[in-house]
Amino acid sequence: MFFFSKVSFSFFRGFHSFEIELPNDFILLYGDNGSGKTNFLEALNILCLTKSFKSVSDKDIVNERSDFYFLDAEIQNHSLRKVSCNFLKNKGKKIFHNEEPIAKFSQHLGILPCVSLIPDDSDIIKDPSKRRKWFNLLFSQWDKDYLAALQNYQNALLQRNTLLKNNSPFKELEPWTYQLCIYGKILIQKRTTYFEKLHQIFMNVYHQLGNWDDISFSYQKNYTYDDINKDLHFYEKQLKIDFQNSYTTYGAHRDDVIFQLNLQNLKYFASQGQQKTFIIALKLSEYEFLHQYGKTPLLLLDDVFEKLDTKRIQFISNYLHQNRKSQIFVTHPSSLNLDFAPYFIHMNKHEVVKL
């Protein structure tokens, strides 16, 4: 399993020139709000996945005193010894492997797998587009073929929707519809397999965290691809509706996941506490899922213990300690009194106060 042995951030958010050596351990970053804890995790997420875990553009996370930011990490237990990210406002972003730029960001995805949990992840329960983004990122980190099929499908969808908006002739839509069918079928086959595995892991993790509610989730296909000729005929019959809407109404891009508590929609029938516990279990299931498929990830948990009682904090922290398979980063306003001794980093004004 890989870990970051040293990281440095320059002109990233509130960091000016920051550098720190890190152990392969359960690392607890603590400090007041605005001290740089979340920004620290955000930088690691970019180094792993090329982008922030927040919905924000790179130009908005450059320090106000600069027109660029630079992130760098030294890596242990991996064929990749060093990863860097350089963003300039007038030139864009580049990712470097061992100081050599890579041609495409997709080449980097899955090289340094990562699972993050931030407060905004509660939106996964509420928003189907966030759910699709969530499971596409997870499966793409593990399976390069899934990522390739997803990229091809999304490109075909974009081209087809553009033609629909322009009221283009049917013949111009045909090649893109054909690609939707080919790559859509690959996606739903892989999703069916992976969701079955993920659900098994989730149920085990959920119970290990001390929860015994009747809770579950299920993968919902928007359209079940079959024989290519039947699929093309189906899309042909849908053309009138598609032209009216100016977009493709059926396909793998509209798949969803249904979260349930006592056979009711979690979004409407679960308390805030139950929803938070569900999201924590879901994210820890991602961590275990990637590990079981040979892609043990970094784990980044931002304010995971917020508004939880002492008993729940101990359940989760003990689970993390006992099931730690890689470097884990957790943020909290203060140093916690846990049943084990994590590696503490005290943050203040984007600097380390105490190790």
The vertex-287 CA angle with 350 and 301, nearest 5°, equals 25
Sequence-separated (6 or more) residues with CB below 8 Å from residue 267: 125, 126, 259
3-state secondary structure of 28: strand
What sections of 50-96 are H helices per DSSP?
none
Per residue of the chain (355 residues), give pLDDT as tens: 899 999 999 999 999 999 999 999 999 999 999 999 999 999 999 999 999 999 999 999 999 999 999 999 999 999 999 999 999 999 999 999 999 999 999 999 999 999 999 999 999 999 999 999 999 999 999 999 999 999 999 999 999 999 999 999 999 999 999 999 999 999 999 999 999 999 999 999 999 998 888 999 999 999 999 999 999 999 999 999 999 999 999 999 999 999 999 999 999 999 998 999 999 999 999 999 999 999 999 999 999 999 888 888 888 999 999 999 999 999 999 988 888 889 999 999 999 996 6
Judge residue 17's burial from the number of C-beta atoms within 10 Å of its C-beta, 0-12 exposed, 13-18 middle, 19 or more buried: exposed
**In this structure, are strands 92-97 and 82-88 parallel, antiparallel, or unpaired?**
antiparallel
Kindly tell me the number of DSSP H helices and DSSP E strands found in the chain.
10, 15
Q: What is the value of pTM for the model shown?
A: 0.96
Which amino acid is located at 142 in the chain?
Answer: W
Judge residue 28's burial from the number of C-beta atoms within 10 Å of its C-beta, 0-12 exposed, 13-18 middle, 19 or more buried: buried
88-96 long-range contacts (CB < 8 A, ≥24 apart) are 89/59, 89/62, 92/58, 93/50, 93/58, 95/50
- Domains, the chain, ordered by start: 1-110+300-355 (3.40.50.300), 114-295 (1.20.1050.90)
Cα–Cα dist 252/144, whole Å: 18
Cα–Cα dist 320/254, whole Å: 34
- The DSSP output letter for 62 is B
DSSP string, 5-16: EEEEEEEETTEE
Element (H, E) at 25: none
